Amino acid sequence: MSANYEPNIVAFLCNWCSYAGADLAGTSRVSYPANIQIIRVMCSGRVNPLYVMNALQQGADGVLVSGCHPGDCHYMEGNYYARRRLGMLKDLMEFVGVDPKRFHMSWVSASEGHKWKEVVEKTVEDARDAGPFEGFRRRQIDW
Amino acid sequence: MDLELLRKTGAEVAARDDVKYLLGWKQGTYGYRVAPAFVENAAGAAELIFSPLCTANLATYLTLVEQLPVPRGEEPDTRKVALMVKGCDSRAVTQLLVEKGIERDEVVVIGCPCPGVVDPALLAEKYPETEEPAEMKWDGEDFLLIRNGEETKISRDELLAEKCRLCRYPNPVVSDEMLGEPVETWAPGEDKGVEEVEAKDVDSRLEYWMDQFDKCVRCYSCRNVCPLCYCQDCILDRLNPTWVNRSVNFSENTAFNIARAFHLAGRCIECGECERVCPANIPLGKINRKLARDVRDKYGFEPGVDPEAEPFQASYKPDDPEDFIL
Amino acid sequence: MSAMLLNKEKWPEFVGKLTGKNVWAPQSDGTEMRFAPVGENEKVVLDYNNTRVPPKGALFPQTETMFKFEIGSDKVEEPPLDQEVVVLGLRPCDARAMTIVDKLFKWDIDDPYFVKRQEKTTLVGLACNEPGLNCFCTSVGGGPAATEGLDVIMADLGENYFVEALTDKGKALLDETRDLLEDADDDAQKQKEKLSGEAEDKIKRSVETEGVPEGLPGLWDDPLWPRVSASCLGCGTCTYLCPTCHCFDIQDETEGIDARRCRMWDSCMFSEYTLHTSGHNPRPTRKERTRNRINHKYSYYVDKFDVIACVGCGRCTNLCPVNIDIIEILRQVKEAL
């Protein structure tokens, strides 16, 4: 791993809480690592496990999924489903050899700009620890 | 298992006016093979068998058989499908009921209490297959192999399939008719296969599965044989968007295998069919059993036991574990 | 070219001599044997029945990149396909399968990928001494020591391998390794013939193909098709593992602006194989698909290329999860004729 390695993180944020939280972090001039590529989804419950797989296949070194706190979901219960599914996905990925440091989930509300900063810092730091993800990346195949 | 009772019941059920056909097992064309039988009348029931070689989970056919549009002027065939189930197979039926894949009044379930089946690969390895069809029986605690008129007693531990070693439901959990007395359940052994993989560190695990998935030829037999993989339009067949590329390489194979396993999280009833049919010998059972165990231990959920249960991935509990959340 | 002998002790050295080329040989993946490129210091073992996945991938890879391109530009890059390949230890049935597939790939126009690969590939076969349970090559025009399609045939004589070049390519290969080979005497020749005769006698299963190619189309609506296909799972095991199945699908795959067009094996047993864009599927159920598989192998191909597209390797029968037995199907076809 080169000294100036910067991990790529794909973050799926729910429209109602975490995306607004990240927005708040921005408008409050909170600075956090720029390794995050945000993809806004309507709800964390909408995050298909294949999104996570696909991100890792296409070059992400880590994936973050963030939604509303339990009980705060705009759709009442979407984040509960997400918690169950993605918890299983994390177990499964760990079992097939994906470092658990590469996949995180968090609850960040619209008013938690500072928590968002902490979450990103933790995610980036973990992904940096784990190093570049070569595992099942779609490699450029030689013919 | 009393074959006469099996065939008599089979004949009765197959002869019923409201039954389209009865799904059972019959002697295969050679060696240790057992083939699924579609019995349409009482006479056909004479070929039915139930033996330690009957590994196939017939619940697959409940959803596999194509439903073609009914031609104009014709009435749809609403007769029931009857099927014979072992303990694990009956859990597949229950899980299908939970998911509304089938309705209870569409099936007639004939339960076969099952003392455990053999691992066909292990059997063929230890006792090489011959072209003569062979028979097998349960004999007390052991298996009895009969081929070319010769009987060989084989201890249960030697050949018992891994899924049966870990089985907790040898008796059908749902049935309309039960053949014979329930068998005594046994203490499930330790799942060494899964523990072996878990004991490795994360990089060696990746290496292990890389070697395994590299072998995959993407024939999709694991998907097709699975009684609970019954989407009309599978995400793996989709081209727009293409979630998993068609090209066969480690990356896509891993994505496919993870997607397949994940779609069975909290649904897999551990019948072990995927592992049995895999032509590349990928230990798919390990992944499924690992997930099943996590679902059981962490979420206290067990699929295919209670027909009134909520599907695992379409329900939640407010106190589900969230120790992994930042 | 005269027959020669290769002492088994010199076998690793023989393989070592070929390292300039890409050597494909059967290797154990822990549980099963499969054909794969041989790395350095890897042992090549020929002492096994046959691989599950046939070596057809040497000429017709499961995934073949036809060309690479960049989205939004005219840049197109073609595969070099200049690597010399030696396939070691393939069985006569699999070699014969390549000659059958050859007819299709060179039918109206030559398929450049197949042809280029074929030009660069030398096939070194090994005669079977111990045929498998479901082998029926002798019923469909092959044999345990058949040489069709091979460049070099080897036979296991116990201490030595009997080695004979059959084509110029094979001769060139043996010239390179000449110092490891000894001339074979008549005894060796006789022993080889004796072994292949014995192997033929060991083949237990057979099919009767007389009248089948002409008769199959007449059985279009025969009740045998729903019967034999009822238990089919619709998976691709029989076709992917068949050495003569050659259907492929073409897809573009992209990553960013880098894209490649590739073709990969497809299977007529999959439901989306014949699915039209409109949603109509001319082969809507497994009955039609199974019928097509048998018809294609035993009737259409005979019509077109005058050869049965089945070499009797028995893989489909060995590995079908639900015991769909091609020998049994053909018996029933014969009965219905």
- Asked if B10 contacts B47 with a C-beta cutoff of 8 angstroms, the reply is no
Query: Can you give the pLDDT at residue A23?
Result: 95
Q: Do A143 and C80 touch (CB under 8 A)?
A: yes
Whether B234 contacts chain A with CB within 8 A: no
Segments forming the whole domain that contains residue C23: 4-202
C84 and C181 assigned to the same domain: yes
Q: C180 and C275, same structural domain?
A: no
CB-nearest to A57 from B205, B255, B294 is B255
Q: Which residues of C touch B217 (CB under 8 A)?
A: 53, 62, 236, 240-241, 265
Q: For residue A53, which residues of chain B lie inside 8 Å, CB to CB? A: 255, 258-259
Q: How confident is the model at residue A1 (pLDDT cuts 50, 70, 90)?
A: low
How would you label B292-301 residue by residue, b for 16+ Cβ within 10 Å and e otherwise? bebbeeebeb
Q: Please say if the pLDDT value at position A143 is more than 80.
A: no
Asked if A143 lies within 8 A of C258 by C-beta distance, the reply is no
pLDDT digits (tens, 9 = 90+) for C8-30: 888 888 888 887 788 888 888 77
Residues C154 and C198 both lie in one domain: yes
Tens of pLDDT, residues A98-138:
999 999 999 999 999 999 999 999 999 999 999 999 888 88
pLDDT at B244 over 80: yes
Q: Which pLDDT tens digit goes with each residue over C150-195? A: 999 999 998 899 999 999 999 999 998 888 988 888 888 899 999 9
Q: Answer yes or no: are the C-beta atoms of A108 and A79 closer than 8 Å.
A: no
Does residue A140 surpass a pLDDT of 70? Answer: no
Q: Does residue C196 sit in the same domain as residue C230?
A: no
pLDDT of residue C1: 55
Determine, yes or no, domain membership for C207.
no
CATH classification (class only), A9-130: alpha beta
| Residue C331, pLDDT score | 94
Same-domain check for residues C216 and C314: yes
Q: What is the pLDDT of residue B152?
A: 92
- Name the residue ranges covered by the structural domains of chain A: 9-130
Task: Give the pLDDT mean for B272-286.
Answer: 93
User: Are C177 and C228 members of one domain?
Assistant: no
pLDDT of res. A32? 94
- Residue C127, number of CB atoms within 10 A of its CB: 22
Q: Is the pLDDT of residue A142 over 70?
A: no
Average pLDDT (A16-26) is: 95
C145 shares its domain with C40: yes
Chain B nearest CA to C29, separation (Å): 8
How would DSSP label each residue in B204-261?
HHHHHHHHHHHT-----HHHHH-TT---SS-TTT--TT-SS-SS-SHHHHHHHHHHHH
Q: Cβ contacts (< 8 Å) between A71 and chain B: which residues?
A: 318
Note the pLDDT of residue C21: 84
Supply the pTM of this predicted model. 0.92
The CA–CA distances, whole Å, from C63 to B258, C162, C176, C288 equal: 21, 35, 32, 27
In angstroms, the separation between the Cα of residue C313 and the nearest Cα of chain B is: 15
pLDDT above 70: residue B153: yes
pLDDT tens for B186-237 read 998 888 999 999 999 999 999 999 989 989 999 999 999 999 999 988 888 8
Tokens of C103: 């007819």
> How many independent structural domains does chain C possess?
2
In a domain, residue C49? The reply is yes
Q: Do C145 and C48 share a structural domain?
A: yes
Chain C residues in contact with chain B using a Cβ-Cβ cutoff of 8 Å: 29-32, 34, 52-53, 62-63, 133-134, 204-205, 230-231, 233-237, 240-241, 249, 251, 253, 262, 264-265, 267, 270-272, 284-286, 317, 319, 321-325, 327-328
Same domain for C27 and C158, yes or no, is yes
CB neighbourhood size of C281 (10 A): 16
Lowest model confidence (mean pLDDT) among A96-110, B216-230, C36-50, C111-125:
C36-50
